[in-house]
Every structure is written in structure tokens, then in C-alpha cells.
Amino acid sequence: MDMASHPPDDPAECRRLLADLLRSRDALRRQAEDERRRAEDERRRAEDERQRAEDIRRRADELERILAETAADYDRLQEEHAELLETLALLRRYVFGPRRERCSDDPNQGRLFDLPAEPAPAPEPLSPAPDGDAAAPRPRPARTPRRARFEHLPHIRIEHDLTEAEKICPCCGAPKVKIGEDESRELEYIPARLEVRAHALPKYACSKCRDGVASPPAPPKPTPGGIAGPGLAAFVVVSKFADHLPLYRLEDILTRHGVYLSRSTLGDWVRDAAVSLEPLAALQRDLVLRSPVIWTDDTPVTVLGGDEPGSTTGRFWAYIGDDGHPYTVYDFTMSRSRDGPAAFLSRYRGFLQADAYGGYDGIFLASDGGIEEVACWAHARRKFYDARSNAPREANEILEWIRQLYDIEDRALGRSAEERLALRQRQSVPILDRIEAKLDELTGRALPKSALGKAVTYARNQWAALRRYTSDGRLTIDNNVSERTLRLQAIGRNNWQFLGSAGAGPRAAVLFTILAGAKRHHLEPWAYLRDVLLRLSAGETDLGSLLPDRWAASHPEHVLQHRLDEARRRAARQKARREHRRAKARPKG
């Protein structure tokens, strides 16, 4: 019988059954609680496992991140280490090694790479060496007779004679007869001297009419109200800006000649000379801006004074015209911002050959194509030269091609612009195509911070401007003429060290412009500057006759012929060496 449907009548049995049910309920509750606890433990263990797995995954991600950062830091440190090694090698070469960027000092060493298969022009015949050897001919300079070199100098004859007793023959007692004489000459130095020229200006008046006093005009002076004559003013300017003597040394030099002139007085004379010469410098600036090609570069100079205490850095900028406009003009700015060259070149249209200074980029863009950029292969070559120690094969291969470009330019010397253009198009352009292909190959595998990577990046960024010289025969392969011109400031800066004020910069630029013209045309600077100062102070209006090239034509006696001869001999020796090197590298048969 079903007890649930028929419960027992006995209360004891009911209590027993109720106790059993309660015990069963409690057992089920305990079992359910145990199951719940076990499930909770399982859930907690699963959560712990999941948490541990998540921690392990996070730790693995963190380790991977740290490993990636460590690898990146290692690569960066490797690049920095290589860069520092290259920098150290450059500094060691700069301090202890030769400055000349020559790949090989052995003239008998041949080329590493063949010339492009282009028809080369027939070489000029070499004059055979006297001994039949294959050595490069070294033309001997024609020696000027010693006597002819001194003919223009004053000659003072000094008689040296025997005593009367020595003129008696000791054998027979007869007087000796003069049968000739020997002459021994010496070149003596007489220190420069200062002299005071007192200009007498008589005054005339009519004793009857009393209508005024007549007097000749006072002679002009380059320093208004000053005592310096044109020769002394020219001496001070040439001594400082051409011979690189600071004013305190000139103060001592003039004291040795008997007159003490303070350096402040000398500085006033320099200022007055610059003011007088400014119109002539402005004329040369206008003529340079008409040149179809301008070469430019800049150099720093320390400037004292200004709003801030201490010193600041100013800049001299050189602008060089072509052979049709043979003048060199200097400009001065207080910074290297593009405002200075932008103002100077605001009216210019033509080719501008310069280095890769970023300030020129805005000038090229603002000109809307009126100014075309021409880059410098000497700067590009220098960067590959610095990369030889770490990437010898790649760097030397490109250096060899660049040397071939310079050999072509050497053969183009003395030719017309049209002939140079044709030669470049025929021989230089194929070499440039090979260099461009090599740069494209190296771009993907050269470390960006390595010397080779920097050289490749520089060349690729400037590639269009580096190739532009092959589009016009008037252009040059590099900007070395500007660097040679700025040696005038570099040498002087090591002596006078600084400019006294910001206002002295433009005045110094004027004086450098005048003296650079004299140097370019091989003029004796003191004679040129003295005549120019004298004529300008006298009110000369024909500034064109004072230009250095025209002044040289009208004053050939003041052209430094020995400098011209020296330059010709040096060019002849260099041409002979290069032709000899090309002849040895040319395949035989």
C-alpha cells in the first residue's frame, strides 16, 4: 500500500516516518550543499586556471614586447656604435691624418672599375720625358734673370777700396793699376716710413674791392676730417682684410714706425673707407646679379655686442659671378636663416650653385622656377669618402665613378660651353645613370644612420640638382670656387677672431668685396685700393672705370705677374699628372 496515499494511523510510526523524511531531506540538502561546494571549488579552480593562463599570456606578451624593444634597442645601439666609430675615425683623420680626399697616393695604381663603353676622345699627345721614362712631364718654370728682377729698384753704389799703402806693390814699390772690379750685390730692407704732407692753401683777396677771399680747394681725403691720407687708409684696410692683421698688431707696427695711433682711430678709418667704397661694392653686386650662374656659400663669424650679453654668430655670404661678370660680392647677416640670401637674390633669375643648405629650398620654390638649383659633387663625394672604412666596396665603387666624372671635366677645361655640354652628354650622363642605379640598390640595404646610408640619402635627395650641371656647359661640377673664396674669411677669423659689433658686419662685407675683386684679377691690393679711395673721395662718378677688371686693363703695371705665372705652372703640372694617370689607366693595344 502506498504510504503517501494511505498514511499510517499510528502516531509513533508517523513520527518515525517524519524523522526519516527529515533525515532524507537533510541528507539531500547536505548532498546538494556538497555538490554546490564542489561546483564552486571547480569554478574557483577553473577561474584560477583561467587567471593563471591570462597571467601567463600577459607575461608572454610582456616578454615578447621587451624582447622586441631589446632587439630594437640593440639594433639602434649597433647603429649608434657604428656611427660613433665612424665619427671617431673622422675626428682622428681630421686631427692626425691628411685633409686631402685622395683615394690612392700611388700614381701607378690603376682603376678598380672600367670606364663605360663610350667612345673616348683621342688623348692629347704627351711630350716625352728627357730620359725616355714614362714619368709625367714636369715643365720647368722659366727663370727670370736675377738682375732683371731688381732693375725697377733704386740702386746705391757703395765703393770699397784699398788703403793707399795696399795700392803699392811690395816687390818693386810701383803703384798698382786698377784692372777691373768685381761687383757683389745684396738686397736690403728699409723699413716703411710715415711722412706728414702739409698742404699749403694760399688765400688771395683784392685789396681794393674787398669782394671776398679766393683759395684753392682742399685736397680730398678718404677719412673726412681725419689725418689719414689715401695710402695710409689703404694700408690699414689691406693689412686687416687682406693680410689678416688685427688692429692691435697694426697699432704696434705703426708705433715701430714712430707714430702711435690707437686702434679706435684705426677702426674709424676702416669705417670711413667702407662708407666711401660702398657705391663701388653696390655696383659689383648689381653686376653679379646679372650673371646667368652664381656660386654661393657662407661661413660663420663671431660678433660681439647686441641685445643679448656675450657674443653671437653672424654669417658672411659669398656670391660669385661667371667670367662675363667677374666679380665676387659678400653679404653679411646676423643668422643663417634664409632671409639673408632670399633678400639678396630676390631679383635674380638663373642658376644658383650651392651646398645642400635647407634655407635655399624656400628660395627655389618662391622663385617659381626662376632660380634653378645646381648641387655640388664635391659635397656628395666627401660623404662617400667618409664611408670607405665601413662599406669599402660600395663607397669605393661610387668614388671611382665620381673620379671618372671629374676626369671628364678635366678634359673639358679650355673648351667652349657648347663643347663642354656635348662632352658631358656623351660621357658623363651614362656614368650618372650607373650611379643612380647603384643608389637605388643601396637604399634598401644601407643602414640609415651609417655613413654609407647618410651618403646615399644625401645623394638621392639632391639627385636632380647633382645632374643639372650636365644640362648647361656654363655650369661646373662642384661649388669649390666658393669654398676657396671663403678662405679669406677663414684665415682672417683665426687672427682678428671677431667683429666688434653687428654694424661692423656690413662694412666688413664691403671691404671684403673690394679686396676679393683685386685678388680675383691678381691686382696689387694696396695700389688698387689707394687709387680707388683717392678717386672716390675726389667725387669720381665713373664707377665702371674702378671695377677691378677694367682697372687692371688700364694699370697693367700693378698686375701681380708672378701670381699669374704661378697659377699657370700649377695648372700645367696638374694637367700633366692627370693626363699621365689617364694614359696609364688606358688599356694597351
The 10s digit of each residue's pLDDT in 466-522 is: 999 999 999 999 999 998 899 888 888 888 888 888 889 999 999 999 999 999 999
* pLDDT for the residue numbered 487: 86
331: which residues sit within 8 A by CB, 6+ positions away?
316, 317, 319, 340, 341, 344, 509
- In sequence order, what DSSP letters do the residues of 334-395 get, joined into one string? SS-STHHHHHHTTT--EEEE----THHHHHHHHTTTSEEEE--HHHHHHHHHHTTTTSHHHH
CA distance 163 to 470: 79
* pLDDT for the residue numbered 128: 41
Read off the pLDDT of each residue in 139-156 and give the average, rounded to a whole number. Answer: 63
Read off the pLDDT of each residue in 64-81 and give the average, rounded to a whole number. Answer: 85
The 10s digit of each residue's pLDDT in 426-435 is: 999 999 999 9
Q: What percent of the chain has pLDDT over 90?
A: 40
> Largest Cα–Cα distance in the chain?
198
Query: What is the average pLDDT score of the chain?
Result: 84
* pLDDT for the residue numbered 119: 41
* pLDDT for the residue numbered 6: 60
* pLDDT for the residue numbered 102: 65
* pLDDT for the residue numbered 519: 93
- Higher-confidence residue of 561 and 282: namely 282
* pLDDT for the residue numbered 100: 65
Helix (H) or strand (E) holding 467: helix 463-467
* pLDDT for the residue numbered 391: 84
Helix (H) or strand (E) holding 332: strand 328-333
CA distance 262 to 271: 15
98 pLDDT more than 80: no
Read off the pLDDT of each residue in 315-341 and give the average, rounded to a whole number. Answer: 92
**54, three cell numbers:** 591570462
Predicted TM-score (pTM) of the model is 0.76
- Higher-confidence residue of 4 and 253: namely 253
| Cβ-based burial of 307 (10 A; exposed 0-12, middle 13-18, buried ≥19) | exposed
Highest mean pLDDT: which range of 44-58, 208-222, 300-314, 503-517: 503-517
* pLDDT for the residue numbered 148: 52
DSSP SS3 for 407: helix
CB 322 within 8 A of CB 504: no
419 pLDDT more than 90: yes
116 pLDDT more than 80: no
pLDDT band of residue 295 (cuts 50, 70, 90) is very high
Highest mean pLDDT: which range of 321-330, 379-388, 558-567: 321-330
CA distance 337 to 357: 10
- Higher-confidence residue of 529 and 160: namely 529
pLDDT band of residue 155 (cuts 50, 70, 90) is confident
The 10s digit of each residue's pLDDT in 532-552 is: 999 998 888 899 999 999 999
Read off the pLDDT of each residue in 438-450 and give the average, rounded to a whole number. Answer: 86
Per-position b or e across 482-514, b if 16+ CB within 10 A of its CB:
bbebbebbeebbeebeebeebebbebbbbbbbb
Q: Which of 50-54, 122-126, 140-144, 302-306 has the lowest mean pLDDT?
A: 122-126
* pLDDT for the residue numbered 129: 40
531 pLDDT more than 90: yes
